Amino acid sequence: MIKSKSWQAISAVATATDNPADADWRLVEKVKSGNLAAFDLLVSKYKQRIYSTVYNITSNREDAADLTQETFIKAFRSLDRFRGHSHFYTWIYRIAVNAALSAIKRRRLRTFFSFEAIQEDGADPETLALLSSGAETSKPVLLRELQEKLNEALQKLSPKHRTVVVLFEIEGLSHEEIAEIVGTSVGTVRSRLHYAKKQLQGLLAPYVGKASLT
Amino acid sequence: MTMPPPQDSSKPSVGDLLRLKRMERPPEHFWSTFDRRLQRNLVQAVVCRPRWWQRVGAWLLRPGLGLAAAAASFAVVFWLSAAAPFSGGNAIQSAEYPAERAPESSSPEFPFAWAAVEDRSFAIEVLSSEATSPSADEHFQLTAMDAPRRGGELLTLAMTMEGRSSRTVHY
């Protein structure tokens, strides 16, 4: 990506403000006025989250890489039409989610999965401790087993339910933000989330504690 | 007030397990390749902006649109064939018609028949007809569209071309 003085200057302007939405809007305006370096900054800011969302919805890392590229290209091309009525990140999440769901529809008959390896560094130590407590096997073996079972269970959810689970549990977005991204009501998001977690609870029963739906 | 069921603290919750997915990340070198590729694609997007007809073409070739076009074509063909059910010939034809109200000149000896056909839809199938003479008798089979729900009713009747125009039906 572009690493120059202009990039650093734009970065400084973008981070000087307290509100991330305002910072994004400032960058969007710069891109609209022809500054490509500002778009690089938006990419740097959101690429990991967009990749993670698409990867967790599609369960295929190669597709996720392509769809993340596609998302940013689409966003770049459609930036003229972005008027700032919603936050930039909900807008780009919406592009990514739509791209992922379309890809799932396209490859309905040739489904195959490929997963990333678990990177233990940077993981929440409390979660790791909780996951490995009382286990007889070593931590890496246990984590691999849990990952496998979790991915199997997620695949059994419908794409719409999986999307809501991914955005809420993995991406940490609020119900309101998810409703805006997937284009439904907050009530529908809550209902989908409840149903999906109930289903996951059943599928992962040997690994999770009872009454852990909240 | 009911107490919530006790949480099994020795085991993780579904949420804890799902947070495990945050640890599934691509290796660092993935991002350098990704950035280079995106840079190339962005430049291409700036330089080679698709023309309007290319965008329309891409939109038309979207998956699902072909199926919709086929369904629309089928609907048009069906509608056209339904528009001319009495075109003659011996071929069997099918069409759907709403039930007509009883004409004033209806035969008084068959009042029940009109009561039966009122406000119902029927599929009319031409069983035979004389194509050579427009006034020749045609034989039709009427099947109530809601027949499966009502236990099945089948009415066979003969209708003349002239009779049809004067709305007289002979059972």
pLDDT per residue as tens digits for the range A25-78: 999 999 989 888 899 999 999 999 999 999 999 988 889 999 999 999 999 999
- Nearest chain B CA: its distance from A4 CA (Å): 15
The pTM for the full model equals 0.61
Q: How confident is the model at residue A6 (pLDDT cuts 50, 70, 90)?
A: low
Of B12, B35, B41, the CB nearest to A209: B12
Chain segment A184-205, per-residue pLDDT in tens: 999 999 999 999 999 999 998 8
User: Which of A14-28, B53-67, B95-109, B149-163 is least confident?
Assistant: B149-163
Looking up tokens 């970065």 gives A11
| B-contacting residues in A 34-73 (Cβ below 8 Å) | 36, 39, 43, 47-48, 51-52, 55-56, 61, 65, 68-69, 72-73
Cross-chain Cβ contact A201/B19 below 8 Å: no
Mean pLDDT of chain A: 83
- Nearest chain A CA: its distance from B57 CA (Å): 17
Cross-chain Cβ contact B31/A69 below 8 Å: no
Cross-chain Cβ contact A116/B25 below 8 Å: yes
What burial class does residue A60 get, using C-beta atoms within 10 Å of its C-beta: 0-12 exposed, 13-18 middle, 19+ buried? buried
Candidates A63, A154, A153, A65; CA nearest to A110 is A63
**What integer pLDDT is reported at residue A166 of this predicted model?**
95
Determine the residue type at A62.
Answer: E
**What integer pLDDT is reported at residue B110 of this predicted model?**
42
Cross-chain Cβ contact B18/A61 below 8 Å: no
Q: Which long-range contacts (CB under 8 A, 24 or more apart) does A78-85 make?
A: A79/A28, A79/A31, A79/A32, A79/A39, A80/A32, A82/A28, A84/A25, A84/A28
Distance CA B100, CA B108 (A): 17
- Nearest chain B CA: its distance from A165 CA (Å): 9
**What integer pLDDT is reported at residue A152 of this predicted model?**
87
Which distant-in-sequence residues (6+ apart) come within 8 Å of B137 by Cβ? B129, B130, B158, B159, B160
* Assembly ipTM: 0.77
Size of interface A-B (CB pairs under 8 A): 137
Cross-chain Cβ contact B16/A210 below 8 Å: no
Q: How confident is the model at residue A99 (pLDDT cuts 50, 70, 90)?
A: very high
Report residue A206 as tokens. Answer: 């040997």
Chain segment B93-133, per-residue pLDDT in tens: 444 445 444 444 444 444 444 444 444 555 555 555 444 44
The percent of residues above 90 in pLDDT, for chain B, comes to 5
**What integer pLDDT is reported at residue A111 of this predicted model?**
64
From chain A, the residues in CB contact with B5 under 8 A are 210-211
User: Which of A10-24, A171-185, B82-96 is least confident?
Assistant: B82-96
Cross-chain Cβ contact A212/B21 below 8 Å: no
A68, A54 contact by CB (below 8 A):
yes
Q: Is the CB of residue A3 less than 8 Å away from at least one CB of chain B?
A: no
Instruction: Considering only residues B75 and B111, tell me which one the structure prediction assigns the higher pLDDT.
Output: B75
Distance CA A52, CA B37 (A): 18
Check pLDDT > 50 for residue A110.
yes
Cross-chain Cβ contact A143/B20 below 8 Å: yes
Question: Mean per-residue pLDDT for B46-57?
Answer: 72
Which of A138-147, B33-42, B101-110, B151-160 is most confident?
B33-42
Instruction: Considering only residues A109 and B159, tell me which one the structure prediction assigns the higher pLDDT.
Output: A109
Q: How confident is the model at residue B91 (pLDDT cuts 50, 70, 90)?
A: very low
**What integer pLDDT is reported at residue B80 of this predicted model?**
83
Check pLDDT > 60 for residue A138.
yes
| B-contacting residues in A 94-123 (Cβ below 8 Å) | 105-106, 115-120, 122-123
Looking up tokens 């120059």 gives A4
Cross-chain Cβ contact A115/B7 below 8 Å: no
Angle at B113 between CA B108 and CA B119, to 5 degrees: 120
The percent of residues above 90 in pLDDT, for chain A, comes to 50
Check pLDDT > 60 for residue A139.
yes
Cross-chain Cβ contact B34/A115 below 8 Å: no
- Nearest chain B CA: its distance from A149 CA (Å): 10
**What integer pLDDT is reported at residue A39 of this predicted model?**
93
